[in-house]
């Protein structure tokens, strides 16, 4: 009997790792998008059928590096990829992610005699609370998720449990968990006819989460009445919604709106008022911080970033917080964060408990909860290790310095756009100072020429020097630059962005003379 391909291709992990490290990574200044030839070659090279006899490790490795890698974009590698707030992968995170792949730990169950993996995850959550200036005594309850979508889902699921129990308590009765008895039965017992999610300019993932947990996208309601600021929360309107008989509500704060990065609140006074209203009417207060939680890393006394700091003030008053580590920590996809102020994550456990699986029990009661009982997944990657490694490697000061550079670049671009005759910086501001003061890491803009504006995103990205996201603002096309890579260099990157945007205008003008 011939030996299998597995036996034929046994190579030392370290040897393979070195080869991949040396050949897989393109230079930082390589084109951001693959060429059409590279894309075509990559697609043509893909196998249409499963071979009876495998190619073996070396041929497969060569195929991936030679054919597939040239067809990938340089989103994480390039400091000039400004789409989707992808971030990058720091050297410490890359090292840790490789270790996570090699050792491939089981991190769904806390088994202290088997592995230190869940201990690492628990410590990483603690380091995150330190970085975000949250009190460990209150906030060291949470889990790592695939991303902000998963974290928002957990937030709404926990909120759903809380508000139904609170509604029942106020009627003087006790009810069981939705996770045990189902939404319809528990709502009926609690005397609740409708569950609402109240927010301003929420991320699309919130609607998806509302759909999954049985609330429904149609019950996601806007609590803004301002024509000037679509993020502003009308406190009186909110109070009216919260007081509706038969309704139970989850209030969601947009701590960083996806298009602009602006904040729904502007200081602790507003958060105190929100907390007061939620306590009065038995609502759950959730913060979607995927696009703005980074402001908690800044020095609260630094006047240069005062608007960003104010936008993150008072978040410790919320019940739960969503964040995205691949954004502000620059660790690899996928890595989201869910933090909860309620001890032991009992609400999450009532929803996500993995019942009737004795083989997944951690045994004796432990300080560290098994992650499978407080989150969506049973099978989980050791995504906490890159977070732990990066936080130790760069510390509070390292991440603060990185964030300051990212904000300064975004503000420099926005200031340049404000004065540019062919571009319009968004949202509209009365002065360059006002625009830049509110800018975090996101720049939103469009071309003044309406015909060019419809083509602007594709024309910018066709240069393959920088990449921007296509978006929409007030019903018209717009472009978004999200500065989120650890390789940022303010002067170098600004010069390139300005060069590309001016080049687009020159090319357009030349073709329309």
CA–CA separation, 325 vs 259, rounded Å? 19
Strand partners, 249: 196
| 340 shares a domain with 435 | no
The domain that holds 349 is classified in CATH as 3.40.640.10
CA–CA separation, 31 vs 41, rounded Å? 17
Estimate to the nearest angstrom the gap between the alpha carbon of 207 and the chain centroid.
15
The pLDDT, as a whole number, for residue 9 is: 45
The pLDDT, as a whole number, for residue 22 is: 60
Q: Can you give the pLDDT of all 513 residues of the chain as single tens digits?
A: 344 454 544 455 556 555 555 655 656 567 899 999 999 999 999 999 999 999 998 899 899 999 999 999 998 899 999 998 888 999 999 999 999 999 999 898 988 889 999 999 999 999 999 999 999 999 988 999 999 999 999 999 999 999 999 999 999 999 999 999 999 999 999 999 999 999 999 999 999 999 999 999 999 999 999 999 999 999 999 999 999 999 999 999 999 999 999 999 999 999 999 999 999 999 999 999 999 999 999 999 989 999 999 999 999 999 999 999 999 999 998 899 999 998 756 788 899 988 766 445 554 456 788 899 899 998 999 999 999 999 999 999 999 999 999 999 999 999 999 999 999 999 999 999 999 999 999 999 999 999 999 999 999 999 999 999 999 999 999 999 999 999 999 999 999 999 999 999 999 999 886
| 282 shares a domain with 248 | yes
Number of domains the chain contains? 2
The pLDDT, as a whole number, for residue 15 is: 61
Domain stop point among 381, 415, 447: 381
User: What is the CB neighbour count within 10 angstroms for residue 194?
Assistant: 13
Domain range for residue 502?
390-511
- For helices 91-103 and 384-418, the axis angle rounded to 10 degrees is 150
Tell me whether residue 354 is in a domain.
Answer: yes
* DSSP assignment string, 268-318: HHHHHHHHHHHHHHT-EEEEE-TTTGGGGGS-TT-GGGHHHHHHTTTGGGS
The label of the residue with tokens 């060019």 reads 452
Domain stop point among 352, 381, 410: 381
* Cα-based angle 101, 102, 104 (whole degrees, multiple of 5): 60
Helix (H, G, I), strand (E, B) or coil at 230: coil
| 409 shares a domain with 364 | no
Helix (H) or strand (E) holding 82, with range, is: strand 81-82
Q: Which residues of 365-400 are buried (b: 16+ CB within 10 A; e: fewer)?
A: eeeebbbbbbbbbeebbbbbbbbbbbbeebeeeebb
The pLDDT, as a whole number, for residue 369 is: 86
The domain that holds 473 is classified in CATH as 3.90.1150.170
| 469 shares a domain with 451 | yes
- Residue 271's nearest CA partner among 293, 287, 248, 289 is 287
Tell me whether residue 44 is in a domain.
Answer: no
Helix (H, G, I), strand (E, B) or coil at 123: helix
CA–CA separation, 139 vs 143, rounded Å? 11
CA–CA separation, 225 vs 228, rounded Å? 9
| 452 shares a domain with 355 | no
- 194-197 long-range contacts, CB within 8 A, separation 24+: 194/219, 194/246, 194/247, 194/248, 195/160, 195/163, 195/164, 195/219, 195/247, 195/248, 195/249, 195/250, 196/220, 196/221, 196/241, 196/247, 196/248, 196/249, 196/250, 197/156, 197/221, 197/249, 197/250, 197/252
| 455 shares a domain with 320 | no
| 396 shares a domain with 311 | no
Domain stop point among 341, 357, 381: 381
| 395 shares a domain with 368 | no
CA–CA separation, 349 vs 400, rounded Å? 34
| 447 shares a domain with 356 | no
CA–CA separation, 248 vs 271, rounded Å? 20
Tell me whether residue 184 is in a domain.
Answer: yes
Helix (H, G, I), strand (E, B) or coil at 321: strand
User: What is the CB neighbour count within 10 angstroms for residue 499?
Assistant: 13
| 435 shares a domain with 291 | no
| 310 shares a domain with 287 | yes
Kindly give, in sequence order, each residue whose CB lies less than 8 Å from that of residue 482, ignoring residues fewer than 6 positions away: 82, 83, 84, 85, 86, 261, 441, 442, 443, 469
**Paired sense of beta strands 247-254 and 194-199, if any:** parallel
| 350 shares a domain with 205 | yes
**Confidence (pTM):** 0.93
SS3 letters for 167-197? Answer: HHHHCCCCCCCHHHHCHHHHHHHHCCCEEEE
Tell me whether residue 486 is in a domain.
Answer: yes
CA distances from 148 to 35, 70, 215, 262, 453 (A): 31, 29, 18, 17, 30
Tell me whether residue 435 is in a domain.
Answer: yes
Could you give phi then psi for residue 469, rounded to 5 degrees?
-90, 140
- Residue 418's nearest CA partner among 432, 405, 407 is 432
Tell me whether residue 347 is in a domain.
Answer: yes
* DSSP assignment string, 249-268: EEEEEEBS-TTT--BS--SH
30: region left, alpha or beta (phi > 0 left; psi from -120 to 50 alpha)? beta
Tell me whether residue 8 is in a domain.
Answer: no
Tell me whether residue 88 is in a domain.
Answer: no
The pLDDT, as a whole number, for residue 70 is: 94
């Amino acid at each position: 009997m011939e030996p299998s391909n597995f036996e034929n291709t046994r190579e030392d992990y370290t040897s393979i790792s070195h080869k991949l490290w040396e050949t897989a990574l393109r230079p930082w200044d390589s084109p951001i998008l693959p060429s059409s030839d590279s894309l075509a070659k990559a697609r043509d090279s893909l196998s249409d059928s499963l071979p009876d006899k495998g190619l073996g490790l070396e041929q497969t490795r060569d195929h991936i590096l030679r054919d597939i890698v040239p067809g990938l974009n340089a989103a994480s590698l390039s400091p000039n990829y400004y789409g989707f707030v992808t971030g990058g992968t720091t050297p410490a995170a890359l090292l840790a992610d490789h270790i996570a792949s090699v050792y491939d730990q089981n991190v769904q169950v806390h088994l202290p005699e088997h592995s230190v993996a869940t201990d690492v995850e628990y410590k990483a959550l603690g380091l995150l609370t330190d970085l975000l200036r949250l009190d460990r005594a209150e906030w060291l309850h949470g889990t790592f998720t695939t991303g902000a979508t998963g974290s928002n889902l957990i937030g709404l699921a926990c909120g759903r449990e809380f508000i139904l129990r609170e509604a029942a308590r106020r009627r003087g009765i006790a009810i069981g968990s939705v996770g045990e008895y189902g939404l319809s039965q528990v709502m009926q017992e609690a005397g609740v006819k409708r569950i609402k999610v109240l927010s301003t300019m929420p991320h699309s993932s919130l609607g998806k989460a509302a759909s999954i947990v049985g609330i429904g996208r149609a019950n996601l309601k806007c609590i803004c009445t301002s024509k000037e600021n679509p993020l502003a929360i009308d406190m009186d309107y909110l109070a009216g919604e919260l007081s509706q008989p038969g309704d139970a509500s989850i209030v969601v704060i947009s701590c960083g709106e996806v298009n602009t990065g602006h904040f729904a609140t502007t200081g602790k006074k507003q958060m105190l008022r929100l907390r007061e209203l939620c306590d009065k009417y038995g609502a759950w207060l959730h913060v979607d911080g995927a696009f703005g939680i980074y402001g908690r890393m800044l020095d609260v006394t630094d006047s240069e970033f005062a608007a960003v700091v104010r936008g993150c003030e008072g978040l410790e008053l919320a019940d739960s917080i969503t964040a995205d580590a691949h954004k502000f920590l620059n660790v690899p996809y996928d890595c989201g964060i869910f933090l909860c102020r309620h001890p032991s994550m009992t609400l999450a456990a009532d929803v996500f408990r993995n019942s009737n699986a004795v083989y997944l029990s951690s045994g004796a009661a432990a300080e560290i909860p098994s992650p499978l009982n407080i989150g969506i997944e049973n099978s989980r990657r050791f995504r906490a290790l890159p977070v732990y490694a990066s936080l130790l490697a760069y510390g509070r000061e390292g991440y603060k310095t990185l964030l300051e550079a990212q904000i300064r670049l975004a503000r420099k671009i926005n200031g340049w756009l404000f004065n540019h005759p062919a571009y319009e910086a968004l949202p509209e501001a009365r002065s360059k100072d006002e625009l830049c003061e509110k800018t975090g890491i996101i720049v939103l803009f469009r071309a003044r020429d309406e015909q060019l504006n419809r083509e602007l995103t594709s024309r910018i990205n066709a240069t393959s020097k920088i990449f921007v996201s296509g978006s929409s603002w007030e019903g018209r096309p717009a472009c978004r630059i999200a500065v989120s890579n650890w390789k940022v260099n303010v002067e170098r990157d600004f010069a390139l962005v300005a060069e590309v945007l001016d080049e687009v205008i020159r090319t357009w003008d030349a073709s329309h003379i």
